[in-house]
Chains A and B, each alone.
Chain A
Amino acid sequence: MWRISRRQLFWCKTLLHVAAALPLLWLFLAVNSDAAGGDPVQYIIHFLGKGALNLLLLTLLVSPMARWSKQGMLMQLRRPLGVWVFAYACLHLAAYFSLDLLFAWQLLLQEVVKRPYIVVGASAWLILLSLALTSFKAAQRRMGRHWQQLHYAVYPAVILVVVHYYWSVKSEIIEPSIYIMLALLLLSLRLKPLR
């Protein structure tokens, strides 16, 4: 049977990095050329948040795809994808703190404690942080089986992220509802081996 070669995997990864970086370049150009509105703050924050969510769902799609296509090598795409999720999530947070709150530390601390949708988002970010910090090979080796246990936390993280999205909108709930269903679908694919 045909298998993806190392070389092909290398190109897959390269393509992945380019594809994940391009939207950031697009965002930069759009904001710079005034195409993102008169006050693009909300646009930037939503763009980065949704970018993180899209990449997170893509990360969860890797192992079902690898299993379905019987291409085990594809599993190696999870690390670069996961790191990109974390990068987008950090930029999302940074944009909220710098552009919306305008570096008001006190307000940030108050909001993180008081607002349920920000609590939920911040918890998801903390999970992603712990996964990103332990994403290196060395960490994987040192942690042994605990590494896998920790990285199962991506499942609650995706739930937190879609709830955060649903909760953050004023009334336009159709799109976040679709994301919730996609997340549940991807998680349900994982239930099968447990049966």
Chain B
Amino acid sequence: MNRKFIKGILHRPRWELPQSEVTPEAVFRERRRITAMLGFGSIAASLPGYVQAGIFDLFGEPQALAPTRQLNFTVDQQYQTSETQTPYDKVIRHNNFYEFGTGKQDPFENAQKFKVDPWSLTIDGLVDKPLTLGYDDLYKLLPLEQRTYRLRCVEAWSMVIPWVGFPLAALLKKVGVSSKATHVAFETLFDPEQMPGQRNPLMGGGIHYPYVEGLRLDEATNELTFMAVGLYDKTLSPQSGAPIRLVVPWKYGFKSIKSVVRIRLVDKQPPSSWNQLVPHEYGFYANVNPQVDHPRWSQASERRIAEGGLFNAKRIPTLPFNGYAEQVAAMYQGMDLRKFF
């Protein structure tokens, strides 16, 4: 070492540091990240104490939401309602999407890292020209419109939601439905790595994945039947069924299958997940019907989730076909809806 004696004192060259001041290698390697952390730390330190402390720590950090972007669409005046819309904040934090857990807030908590781009939606089966849509096609293939529909869950709560998308009939027109087709089968993405409910039976509620649903062809081509790619004026959030989902407003919510990867035209009634699991509680049709109770609860009324706190909700009578009888009742004429529930 380069040391020299001056008047009997050990002098170190000016550049030499005591060992205690040497930056440990691990810190040196991580210096950029640490500087960034210190930056956030000073921002956090500048916040008033009450914002940082206390109950906020108890429930963990608020997480970053999955990115959504604005959509261009026209507002379809024919399909609007004067009823109060359910605030966006409630629509995205109260979901049934068992792929992300069975609790109502589980999908919000577990779905934010769900990847929707790239996506692939295949329309095939008994069609003239099978079609596979990529992520960008979902927003470009057909003109987007906004419709506000009532959503009635089989669990007797309901919302009023503005969806952005296109009628399923318009999509089916693009592929050309064969005259042999009688039904349409839908399938949700199967990706256990991204969907914890599909790999962990404790989280998935016993459903046999992938989740499947079906409609009769006349139901699928009804004017109301809608493929949604957006909610309010933005793309769908994962927990609401991003990037594309079905919306069938006169049927219980579980028919409106989320995150669809396949639409298949078939010549017999396809299976549907809840019906397979508990056939005496959930029928294939699942039309909203105040006259036919679920075996374990009444369907005569519903709790409407709208603005305000816990006690601001209202219980309102449930309407046949969720209030869309005018558009859909004719399809079921002569059918015993107690039998075909």
Contacts and interface: CB of A to CB of B under 8 A. Distances in A.
Given A37-B103, A39-B305, A167-B296, A173 B206 contact: yes
A16 interface: no
Nearest to A102: B315
Interface centre among B56, B296, B301 (most CB of A within 10 A): B296
A60 to B, nearest CB: 25
Interface in B293-324: 293, 296-298, 300-301, 303, 305, 310-311, 313-315
B309 to A, nearest CB: 9
Contacts of B298: 107, 110-111, 114
Contacts of A98: 311
Interface of B: 55-56, 58-59, 89-94, 102-105, 108, 155, 157, 201-202, 205-207, 277-278, 293, 296-298, 300-301, 303, 305, 310-311, 313-315
A104 B155 CA distance: 17
Interface centre among A38, A43, A171 (most CB of B within 10 A): A38
A98 B312 CA distance: 11
A66 interface: no
Given A102-B315, A171-B278, A172-B102, A39 B94 contact: yes
8 contacts: A37-B94, A39-B305, A42-B104, A102-B313, A107-B298, A116-B296, A172-B205, A174-B206
A67 interface: no
A35 interface: yes
Contact of A38 (B90, B155, B201): B90
Given A99-B310, A171-B205, A41 B59 contact: no
Contacts, number: 92
Nearest to B90: A38
Nearest to A37: B105
Contacts of B278: 170-171
Q: How large is the interface on A (under 10, 10 to 19, 20 to 34, 35 or more residues)?
A: 35 or more
B209 to A, nearest CB: 12
Interface string A152-190: 000000000000000110111111000000000000000
A46 to B, nearest CB: 8
Contacts of B201: 174
Interface in A28-86: 29-31, 33, 35-43
Contacts of A42: 104, 155
B256 to A, nearest CB: 16
Contacts of B305: 38-39
A41 B315 CA distance: 13
B90 A39 contact: yes
Nearest to A117: B296
Nearest to B305: A39
Contacts of A101: 315
